[in-house]
Structure 1
Amino acid sequence: MRIIFMGTPFYAKAILDKIIDTPNMEVVAIYTQPDKPVGRKKIMTPPVVKTLAQRHNIEVYQPQRLRDKEVVEKLLSIECDFIVVAAYGQILPCEVLEHAPCINLHASILPAYRGASPIQQTLLNADKKTGVTAMLMDEGLDTGDILKIETISVEDNEMAESLFDRLTEVATVLTIDVLKNFDSLKVIKQDETKATYCKKITKEDGKVEFVDAKEIYNKYRAFTPWPGVYLDSGLKLKNISLEDVTSTNKEGSIISIEKDSIVVGCKQGSIRVFRVQPASKKEMDILSYINGQRLFREDTLS
């Protein structure tokens, strides 16, 4: 079985690693995003998928635009049985979609959460269940026919990194299952009336106000480690928990100061804060912060 693989981040790397290790599956080419400058020194860094490919001596292609004529022509010259796509980051043109069955692994139960941030959206909405959908790609955004779905439960306090890791493991197993049993799978069209979308996360999405404690906590779950959750002052809430969802309080008021944390009131509910990071400073425990700011009970955290 000859496979062209397209993907870029760790999610894709785990799937690619599984394919490489599976007998009778040969990855004949890998498409990933171009190297990017990383860190303050802007050091050009390859995607993790590229690093894995080079370790196994697999040909790597990193086009700026997959739609460019010469890029498409080169891809079409590579014989394959399947094209597997996992968080690649580019739209596949019609010619590529017609070259071989294109299988995409999307981290949601489609048609829910089509788009760039399904894991974060699951946590923002406090869903109790999510999963990975293997689908046949078409020209739309995550609109292709469903091949198979695997679901998992989501814990009330689950964080994005944990959920990401668990869904990645589901995706690796599902990929091999679908490739091996492709001919016997019954495809199902997506129900367009149930389709929802999620956008690319930006730094601005992490800004919070002390209005709804549950919303703040779900943003914390979804946006840790990036972009994190922070106040208008730039103070980042680095470690928090949900205290209650029903009380009514003055927004941002310090309700209690305890041994290792403080409880902060929201218009609805309250949160417990353990650690923070002031703008342009190092992370610290909340008691050190409020002592430095001379904040006391009934003062406003800002």
Structure 2
Amino acid sequence: MFARVVLQQLILEGVEIVGLVTQPSKPFGRHHTPKDSATKTFILENHPHIPILEPNKLDEEALQAIAALKPDKIVVVAYGKILPQALLDLAPCLNLHGSILPQFRGASPLQEMILHDLKTFGVSVILMDAHMDTGDILGVASFEKDRDHNLQDLGARLALLGAKLMASVLKNFKNITPTPQDHSQASYCKKISKADGLVDFSNARQVYLKYLAYYPWPGVFLNSGLKLFGIELLSTAEQHKEGKILTIDDEGVSVGCAKGALKIAQLQAPGKQKVGAKAYLSGKRLKVGDILA
């Protein structure tokens, strides 16, 4: 959805879109029904006159089709593939990246900003080069943290902020002096996998930050496969036996950690439906003082 928000905002800002290049539709669900990208769906529903290209790879045929659109600039948002030099040479390629570069180059910058509990969130527009997220900076936009954001909320806010930044960069491109990144300050982040959602009750704040960063996918879960939902951070300093059930009420269960305590609203056992934490504990005959695992 990040790229869709950017595309929609650029059109609202009066940027002329000569074509959309997006990933091919992918099988989805039990019946493997083809699912279009969010950007393709948006164009088909709102601007069907704009050409859509869906190359499996950016080969010579795809590059010729893109060149035929005669773009002045190429805007790259969440495309997910390395661009060949021939495309970079076709027109200036401007990438919107979800962090304040050179911090968190790579595939999961939003998650990393949440996991590191940053006080400032931001996005960067860079002039792309042959390497990953190393191009000169054309603009940065940011905001001070005013509350805890999960990945979905932060993505929505940064997408709009980034779209407005990209529109400004496009409109003022001739007057912008690119700023080289300080590569000595670079940090990196990897693509998120399901295994990243594994947590234990050693540190309440770390569990809470993972819950925010990995919402809605992959979520957070214990080694048993038990998934945790609706997590609140109760404290960061208390010391408890890991997983000890402290209280149970209609709002959920409070659980002690070696450092801190959490409130958990809902639980989901492997292969089961998500239920209220109180109902789950009742079904398992767990009470205050027992261990949630």
Q: What is the CA-CA distance between 1:39 and the residue it aligns to? A: 1.4
State the partner residue of 1:60. Answer: 52
Equivalent of 2:31 in 10, 18, 41? 41
Q: What is the CA-CA distance between 1:143 and the residue it aligns to? A: 0.6
Instruction: Give the SS at the match of 2:65.
Output: helix
Q: What is the CA-CA distance between 1:76 and the residue it aligns to? A: 2.7
Q: What is the CA-CA distance between 1:47 and the residue it aligns to? A: 0.5
Q: What is the CA-CA distance between 1:173 and the residue it aligns to? A: 0.8
CA RMSD of aligned residues (A): 1.3
Structure 1 stretches of 5 or more lacking a match?
1-9
Q: Deviation string for 1:187-232 (max 9, x for gaps)?
A: 1100111101111111111011111111100000001111000111
Equivalent of 2:108 in 111, 114, 117? 117
State the partner residue of 1:233. Answer: 224
State the partner residue of 1:32. Answer: 22
Instruction: Give the SS at the match of 1:298.
Output: coil
2:77 is equivalent to residue 86 of structure 1: yes
Q: Deviation string for 1:161-190 (max 9, x for gaps)?
A: 111111011011111111111111121100
Structure 2 stretches of 5 or more lacking a match?
none
The CA distance in 2 between the partners of 1:261 and 1:51, in whole Å, is 39
Letter in 2 for 1:203: K
The CA distance in 2 between the partners of 1:292 and 1:157, in whole Å, is 32
State the partner residue of 2:136. Answer: 145
Alpha carbons 1:126, 1:156 under 8 Å: kept: no
Instruction: Give the SS at the match of 2:264.
Output: strand
Q: What is the CA-CA distance between 1:53 and the residue it aligns to? A: 2.3
Residue identity (%): 40
State the partner residue of 2:291. Answer: 300
The CA distance in 2 between the partners of 1:235 and 1:267, in whole Å, is 19
Q: What is the CA-CA distance between 1:156 and the residue it aligns to? A: 4.7
2:233 is equivalent to residue 242 of structure 1: yes
Q: What is the CA-CA distance between 1:259 and the residue it aligns to? A: 4.1
State the partner residue of 2:178. Answer: 187
Q: What is the CA-CA distance between 1:21 and the residue it aligns to? A: 3.0
Instruction: Give the SS at the match of 1:246.
Output: coil
**Structure 1 length normalisation: TM-score?**
0.93
State the partner residue of 1:280. Answer: 271
Letter in 1 for 2:255: V
State the partner residue of 2:98. Answer: 107
Q: Deviation string for 1:225-247 (max 9, x for gaps)?
A: 11000111111101111111111
The CA distance in 1 between the partners of 2:69 and 2:251, in whole Å, is 60
Instruction: Give the SS at the match of 2:17.
Output: strand
Alpha carbons 2:238, 2:261 under 8 Å: kept: yes
**Structure 2 length normalisation: TM-score?**
0.96
